[in-house]
Chains A and B, each alone.
Chain A
Amino acid sequence: MLLRHLRKIRIIVSLLIFGFLLLFFMNVHGRIIDPVAEFLLRLQFFPSVLRFSAIAFAVSSLGFLLILLLTFLFGRVYCSSICPLGTLQDIFIALARRFKPKKKRRFVYTSNRKFILRYSILAATLLFWFFGSLFLLNLLDPYSNFGKISVTLFQPLFTQGVNGLSGLLERLDLFFITPLLKQSLPGDVVAVSVGILGVIMTLSIWRGRLFCNSLCPVGSVLGLVSTRSLYRVAFREAACTLCGKCEKVCKAECIDSKKKTVDMSRCVSCFNCFDSCSNNGLYYENAFSGKKKAITLNTTDNLRNEKRTFLLTLAGGMMSIPLLKKLAKAQVEPGKAGMVPTGTGLPVTPPGSMSHDHFTGKCIACYLCVGACPTNVIIPSFFDYGLEGFMQPKLDYHKSFCNFDCTRCTEVCPTGAITRLDRDTKHITQIGIAKFMYESCVVTVDGTDCGACSEHCPTKAVTMVPYNGLWLPEVEPELCIGCGACEFACPTEPYKAIYVESNALHKQALPLSDDHGPRDHDKDEFPF
């Protein structure tokens, strides 16, 4: 019977999806991986919602509607198959089962009442969002957390592994494995990722999909839909022998085998129960089949309670959030001129992100751009954007700079926080402006030539002008695009003598001179 195979199908599908996304986040690319992973990114719920709000009504931003429809038809299939963090939890659950004593392997039904908290969290998340801060969403969204964990923890391990292997082979004079450039990730961000992974791991090993049914905002939204879904898990009264096996394998802890009820708001459609029942005592009931008895726990009371809490929290939160926002804003005011040596103002946002407001309002902090950036110039921030943009990525010119011809981050961003730029548009997109610090420069302080800044400048916004028999940098702001090549190349310490000041609103730089080709040389003899 098909129902009994559903679990196996779900496991295969979810592992495939997890694998594709993990490889994509590890920056492993290929002709099959790329299109599949890009399609899977479109199906991620909140990234798709954010994309919808950024690039409204584009086909690429309608994934969330598909997920809602899927949930309305078959329950929270997203949670069991499409969500990469869901599969990661399943992997933990499966691994833990191998080490747990038999008695502790089973799950036990828990009352729905305990989960009123769940909707308060969703309400708070949406409230923050409504008032312009993705703080809670970026902390709780499952896709975002999968990304954070992949890029800040798995990817460095992957890099280390590849480089270790290529290093060994190099000693044998073999160079066919290309080493990878190492990320320099801030410790605080890595610590948060470790914390998130720790929480996810603990919750899943302890209580199955508890995260999905308490903290996860996608789980909560889809939980509201799945209580009304067309097909739902239900008991076949006559076939059920009250053996309780289904309850023991239910990692959502939503089956009450004694009362023969299933709490569909928490069911993640993993189909473990179908597989566990030797009597076919459970089935996928069609809501319109007519024989709708008190078999599925429709939890009307509980739901009413939840909705009430949800609305109350929404209303209550309205009062306090603007205050929070104000407090957060105060932290990101740029430093006064001359008071700080360099570069402690606003962080630089990736090209294509249009403005700080657009970027911080749309970025879900999944770090796909961080992992995909070939020069590793995009790194996660901590509180650089204030509470509002907690952990969202920024460009850091201390370890690298933005490659002139590269548009990779604009291609991968699933939320539309970084909008797509073609190469020519990127060439004139001004994300910041270089500022020269006369009093810190090698040329003025040591009296020797340097020019590393101008050397690296792709637009020649930084040129060298005569200065006491030497050459001194000069910035033409109109030509500068803020790529940070000058800041990166500048050799002065501890503060750079040239640095990029962020544009809160991205602007347009002057275009480069036309590529009208080389001039011909007039002399034919060698000058020596």
Chain B
Amino acid sequence: MDRRDFLRKSVLYGAVAGLGASALGTFTPALAGLRPHITKGNFDLVAVRGSNLVAMFDRAMQEMGGMSQWVKPGQTVVVKPNIGWDVVPDRAANTNPDLVGAVVRHCLQAGASRVTVFDHTCDNWQRSYENSGIEKAARDAGARVVPGNFERNYRDISIPGAVRLTEAKVHEQILDNDVFINVPVLKHHSSTRVTIAMKNLMGIVWDRRYWHRNDLNQCIADFCLFRKPDLNIVDAMLVMTQNGPRGTSTADLVRKNSLMVSSDIVAIDAASALIFGEEPANVGHLAIAEELNIGSLDLSKLNIQRVYM
């Protein structure tokens, strides 16, 4: 595809997507989970292999047809990276800060009126925000960074159709912004085997203990019935393959040099699990997600763009 072709295509796809979105109107969060499976962008999934994460992300979005497919001028965006731990970027227990910065920039370039970044951290939130480098990277890129560790910022929601997680308290930024972008990091996890896009949503609820106490894998899947992110971006550059999700040293990491972008949270998790070296069907919450029809683990039916840089 040459440059002109690409531009023509992106305008066309953009217009179609824009019309589609306006025709369907704005979704109330409770209904969002029930909407038909819509994949925006030129591909169901774009996977990029390379050495420069930010350049890889730029390329992935270019392939997808640009951030404007998801973010319309004037819309507000919430970006949810993984900032769970008080560790430095080299340890790859949190999303790469440069990637978070790049996501924010793409949103603002697409005309977002405001981009908000937060996570409900596991370690002390201020230390995690600071030492992960994400607070600074996001602010420098033009986002505002807000706390996620205060109960007053969470609101009660109910999840129709959920098996175990019928109610939860969700952060107001998820409920009040137009576009929700999920930016997890691919890691080993002590009990769910891997933590990717679906597991990253544990950072937008207040009571995580409830999930652990009531069939963790089921709750992770249940939550996607409430709200799926509009776009998922998986950081799989440095992948923690053991001692996850916090890791104990850089020796836990393997250079997988990959990045994935997709609107389909189950597809992107399945692809990421394969990169990690785990069969998607063996990951408890992924298997349940397929059963609940949240998405498909069968990557062969998807339109995947693979890029090697």
Residues A526 and B248 in contact, CB atoms below 8 Å apart: no
A439 at the interface (CB under 8 A from B): no
**B127 pairs with A405, CB closer than 8 A:** yes
Hey, what's the 0/1 contact readout for B88-120 against A, CB within 8 Å counting as 1?
000010000000000000000000000000000
Min CB–CB distance B300 → chain A (angstroms): 9
Contact with B along A487-527 (1 / 0, CB 8 A): 00101100000000000000000001111111111001011
Is A491 a contact of B210 with CB atoms below 8 Å? yes
Closest to B172 in A: A170
Whether B251 lies near A516 (C-beta < 8 A) is yes
Which residue of the partner chain, among A454, A518, A528, contacts B255 with CB atoms under 8 Å? A518
Question: What residues of chain A lie closer than 8 Å to B251, measured between beta carbons?
Answer: 513-519
Cβ contact within 8 Å between B209 and A452: yes
On whether the beta carbons of B254 and A175 are closer than 8 Å, the reply is no
With contacts A513-B248, A528-B274 taken as known, whether A451 is within 8 angstroms of B191 at the C-beta atoms is yes
Smallest Cβ distance from A482 to chain B, in angstroms? 16
Interfacial residues of chain B within 274-309, with CB under 8 A of chain A in the complex: 274-275, 284, 299, 304, 306, 308
A244 within 8 A of B: no
A interface secondary structure, majority: loop
Q: How far is the CA of A167 from the CA of B150 in the complex (A)?
A: 10
Stretch from A8-16, A114-122, A286-294, A455-463 forming part of the interface with B = A455-463
Our pick among B152, B249, B284 for the contact of A513 (Cβ within 8 Å) is B249
Bound complex: CA of A405 vs CA of B299, how far in Å? Answer: 41
Q: Which of A170, A403, A448 contacts B124 (CB 8 A)?
A: A403
B257 within 8 A of A: yes
Task: Given the known inter-chain contacts A178-B147, A457-B246, please indicate yes or no for A491 contacting B124, CB distance below 8 A.
Answer: no
B246–A515 touching, CB < 8 Å: no
Is A197 positioned at the interface, with any CB of B under 8 Å from its CB? no
Given contacts A459-B248, A527-B275, A528-B271, are A519 and B253 in contact (CB under 8 A)? yes
B209 pairs with A179, CB closer than 8 A: no
C-alpha spacing A175/B122, complex, angstroms: 21
B144 at the binding interface (Cβ < 8 Å): yes
A341 smallest CB distance to B (angstroms): 17
CB neighbors of A among B46-72 (8 A): 47, 49
- Chain A residues 471-493 with CB under 8 Å of chain B are 471, 489, 491-492
Q: A516-B250, A524-B49, A526-B258 are in contact. Are A451 and B192 (CB under 8 A)?
A: yes
A512 close to B249 (CB less than 8 A): yes
Residues of A within 8 A of B274 (CB): 526-528
Stretch at the interface among B35-43, B213-221, B225-233: B213-221
Return B279 CB to nearest CB of chain A, in Å: 10
Judged by a CB distance under 8 angstroms, whether A3 is at the interface is: no
CB neighbors of B among A325-384 (8 A): 374-375
Q: Quick one: closest B residue to A442, CB to CB?
A: B213
Asked if B124 contacts A518 (CB within 8 A), the reply is: no
Partner of A517, one of B122, B250, B257: B250
Q: Does A230 contact B (CB under 8 A)?
A: no
A224: interface (CB < 8 Å) = no
How many residues of chain B have a CB within 8 Å of chain A?
A: 56
Cα–Cα, bound, A450→B217 (Å):
9
Query: Which residue of A has the minimal Cβ distance to B285?
Result: A449
* Nearest-Cβ distance from residue B197 to partner chain A, whole angstroms: 15
Q: Are A446 and B147 in contact (CB under 8 A)?
A: no
A sample of 16 inter-chain contacts (CB < 8 A) reads: A163-B150, A406-B127, A448-B214, A448-B216, A450-B191, A450-B212, A451-B190, A451-B191, A458-B248, A460-B243, A515-B249, A517-B253, A519-B255, A520-B254, A524-B49, A526-B275
A514 touches B249 (CB 8 A): yes
Residue A404, interface by CB 8 Å: yes
A450-B213 in contact (CB<8A)? yes
CB < 8 Å: which of B126, B152, B210 contacts A374?
A: B126
**The one of A374, A456, A517 that contacts B127, using a Cβ cutoff of 8 Å:** A374
Please name the 8 residue pairs, one residue from A and one from B, whose CB atoms are nearest each other, closest first.
A451-B191, A518-B253, A491-B209, A454-B190, A491-B213, A448-B215, A491-B212, A527-B274
Is A324's beta carbon under 8 Å from chain B? Answer: no
Min distance, Cβ B105 to any Cβ of chain A, angstroms: 20
Residues of A within 8 A of B245 (CB): 455
Q: Which residues of B contact A513 (CB under 8 A)?
A: 248-249, 251
Shortest beta-carbon distance from A525 to chain B in Å: 8
Taking a contact as CB atoms under 8 Å apart, the answer to whether B250 and A178 are in contact is no
Q: In the complex where A179-B147, A455-B191, A491-B210 touch, is A521 in contact with B254 (Cβ < 8 A)? A: yes
Q: A463 contacts which chain B residues (CB < 8 A)?
A: 190
A sample of 18 more A-B contacts (CB under 8 A), given A405-B87, A516-B249, A521-B255, is: A175-B145, A374-B124, A375-B124, A406-B124, A406-B127, A448-B214, A449-B216, A451-B192, A452-B209, A455-B189, A457-B246, A460-B248, A517-B253, A519-B254, A524-B49, A526-B271, A527-B275, A528-B47
Q: Which residues of A contact B271 (CB under 8 A)?
A: 526, 528
Question: Cβ of A221 < 8 Å from any Cβ of B?
Answer: no
Query: In whole angstroms, what is the CA distance A71 to B284 when docked?
Result: 72
B146 touches A449 (CB 8 A): no
Closest to A376 in B: B124
B-facing mask of A424-457, CB < 8 A → 1, else 0?
0000000000000000001000101111101111
Contacts of A452 in B (CB 8 A): 191, 208-209, 212
Q: Is B132 an interface residue (CB 8 A)?
A: no
Q: Which of B92, B124, B209, B304 has the most CB of A within 10 A?
A: B124
Q: In chain B between 192 and 248, which residues have their CB closer than 8 angstroms to a CB of chain A?
A: 192, 208-210, 212-218, 238, 243, 245-246, 248
A389 to B209, CA, bound (A): 34
In the complex, whether A157 has a CB less than 8 A from a CB of chain B is: no
Residues of B near A181 (CB, < 8 A) are: 149
Q: A374-B124, A513-B248, A516-B250 are in contact. Are A451 and B255 (CB under 8 A)?
A: no
